[in-house]
């Protein structure tokens, strides 16, 4: 008997670039030609039933014209499809079509597509490279950047997944023009969240220019795409695996994720997040971290973005309180919240600790009050 030491210390360089621009389909092809994923020539383009016609068909034909072997894998649009079952169907179809480890996945779509396709990429053949081509503001602001991939379960969102960083991310702002207004507003919630945690100036910019942003003004949208990346990058580069700091990106998500599930996805992610941010600012004000004026400013900006700021009547409040316990920040059965400090900062409760235990009765009080 004895101990055999398996020495596997690793130095990994998972760096990648995020390209922000308008109509980036040709840029994607030229990057592939220039060796973005080495000598891989086989691509699986994963998309949903809406984005297929708008952008994925075009990307597929450009890949084929460029001499690559490529197929589309399409699932029904909507958060309800972000499941293990959809993942399994895509994987089995890829296997049937002869895909093995020598392929690359290209996710073309919003957050549901990039989360799901990234997860497929992380486990297919024990991991293949993937590229995110983000076609919504929500994916551009959050989902496609940072390497979090996941599917939902009946219990809650994003419970099963892995960290798997993309080879490159394309944020094609031209695609935002085809988004329904409701989806633009949903994406704004993650953008407002970034301003709340990191930049008073960015918050004021959103407040002043909200209408132009909602009308997809080119220059304003480019600015917010850049700011979102900058803020998210500053966090992810310091704490990729969410051991501490990355929890700040969860601001508003304790209530937000719970309400998204309890609404049975009638609420879009950003709509649920908006309500979660309101719960959080009310809590931060109650605990003395935000003034009433700051709390109300945040609520007003969410309203300007046409986002909901109250819990809909049809939500069962007690079910919502129970659902809070599915949050990934829960520790030893205790709810933990990230809280804003004023606007543009977060509370660091101890060195490197950015979420604090909150008693259930306090969380319930906030929820009952909304």
Q: Mask of contacts with ligand GLY, 131-170, x by CB under 6 A? A: -----------x---x-x----------------------
**Should residue 249 be labelled a site residue for ligand GLY when binding is judged by CB under 6 A?**
yes
Q: Which is nearer to ligand GLY, 87 or 257 (CB)?
A: 257
Nearer to ligand GLY, 190 or 297 (CB): 190
Name the region of 129 (left: φ>0; alpha: ψ -120 to 50; beta: rest): beta
**Alpha helices, H only, 109-252:** 111-123, 137-138, 181-198, 200-214, 218-236
Q: Does 297 bind ligand GLY (CB under 6 A)?
A: no
Q: Does 329 bind ligand GLY (CB under 6 A)?
A: no
Pick between residue 253 and residue 323 the one whose CB is nearest to ligand GLY.
Answer: 253
* CA 280 – CA 249 distance, rounded (Å): 13
Calpha distance 77→279 (Å, rounded)? 29
Compute the distance between CA of residue 341 and CA of residue 346 in angstroms, rounded to an integer.
5
Residues in the chain, total: 370
Q: Is 78:137 a contact under the CB 8 Å cutoff? A: no
Q: Is 111 in the site for ligand GLY (CB under 6 A)?
A: no
From the list 208, 354, 370, 219, the residue with the least C-alpha distance to 283 is 370
DSSP 3-state of 104? strand
Smallest separation, CB 148 to ligand GLY (Å): 5
CB nearer to ligand GLY: give 125 or 244: 244
**CB of residue 142 vs ligand GLY: minimum separation in angstroms?**
5
Of the candidate residues 168, 194, 246, 257, the single one contacting ligand GLY (CB under 6 A): 246
In the complex, least distance from residue 237 CB atom to ligand GLY, rounded to whole angstroms? 12
By CB under 6 A, residue 82 contacts ligand GLY: no
Residue with tokens 């998500």: 253
Residue least distant from ligand GLY (Cβ): 249
For residue 89, the number of C-alpha atoms closer than 13 Å in the C-beta half-sphere is 12
Residue number, 206 or 245, with CB nearest to ligand GLY: 245
In the complex with ligand GLY, the residue whose CB is nearer, 68 or 163, is: 163
Burial string for 48-67 (b: 16+ CB within 10 Å, else e) reads bebbbeebbbebbebbeeee
| Residue 249 vs 267, nearer CB to ligand GLY | 249
The mark string for 163-182 relative to ligand GLY (x by CB under 6 A, - otherwise) is --------------------
Q: Which residues pair with 105 in a beta bridge?
A: 44, 130
Return residues touching ligand GLY (CB under 6 A): 142, 146, 148, 246, 249
């Amino acid at each position: 008997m004895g101990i055999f030491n398996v020495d596997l210390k690793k130095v990994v360089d998972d760096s990648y670039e995020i390209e922000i621009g308008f109509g980036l389909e040709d840029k994607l092809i030229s990057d592939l030609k220039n060796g973005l994923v080495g000598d891989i020539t086989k691509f699986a383009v994963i998309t949903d039933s809406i984005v297929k016609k708008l952008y994925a068909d075009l990307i597929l034909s450009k890949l084929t014209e460029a001499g690559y072997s490529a197929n589309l894998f399409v699932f029904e649009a909507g958060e309800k499809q972000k499941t293990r079952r959809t993942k399994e169907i895509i994987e089995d179809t890829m296997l049937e079509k002869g895909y093995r480890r020598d392929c690359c996945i290209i996710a073309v779509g919003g957050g549901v597509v990039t989360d799901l396709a990234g997860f497929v990429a992380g486990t297919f053949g024990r991991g293949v490279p993937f590229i995110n081509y983000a076609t919504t503001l929500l994916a551009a602001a959050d989902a496609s950047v940072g390497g979090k991939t996941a599917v939902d379960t009946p219990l809650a969102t994003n419970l099963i997944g892995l960290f798997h960083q993309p080879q490159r991310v394309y944020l094609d702002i031209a695609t935002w023009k085809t988004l329904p207004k409701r989806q633009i507003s949903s994406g704004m919630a993650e953008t407002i969240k970034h301003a709340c945690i990191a930049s008073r100036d960015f918050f004021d910019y959103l407040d002043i220019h909200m209408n132009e942003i909602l009308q997809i003004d080119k220059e304003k949208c480019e600015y917010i795409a850049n700011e979102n990346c900058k803020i998210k990058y500053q966090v992810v580069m310091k704490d990729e695996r969410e051991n501490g700091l990355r929890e700040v990106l969860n601001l508003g998500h304790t209530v937000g994720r719970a309400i998204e599930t309890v609404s049975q996805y009638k609420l879009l992610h950003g709509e649920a997040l908006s309500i979660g941010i309101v719960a959080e600012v009310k809590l931060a004000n109650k605990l003395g971290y935000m003034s009433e004026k700051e709390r109300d400013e945040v609520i007003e900006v969410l309203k300007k973005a046409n986002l909901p700021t109250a819990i809909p009547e049809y939500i069962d409040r007690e079910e919502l309180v129970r659902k809070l316990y599915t949050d990934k920040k829960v520790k030893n059965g205790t709810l933990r919240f990230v809280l804003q400090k004023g606007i543009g900062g977060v509370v660091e409760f101890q060195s490197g600790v950015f979420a604090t235990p909150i008693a259930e009765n306090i969380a319930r009080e906030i929820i009952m009050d909304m």
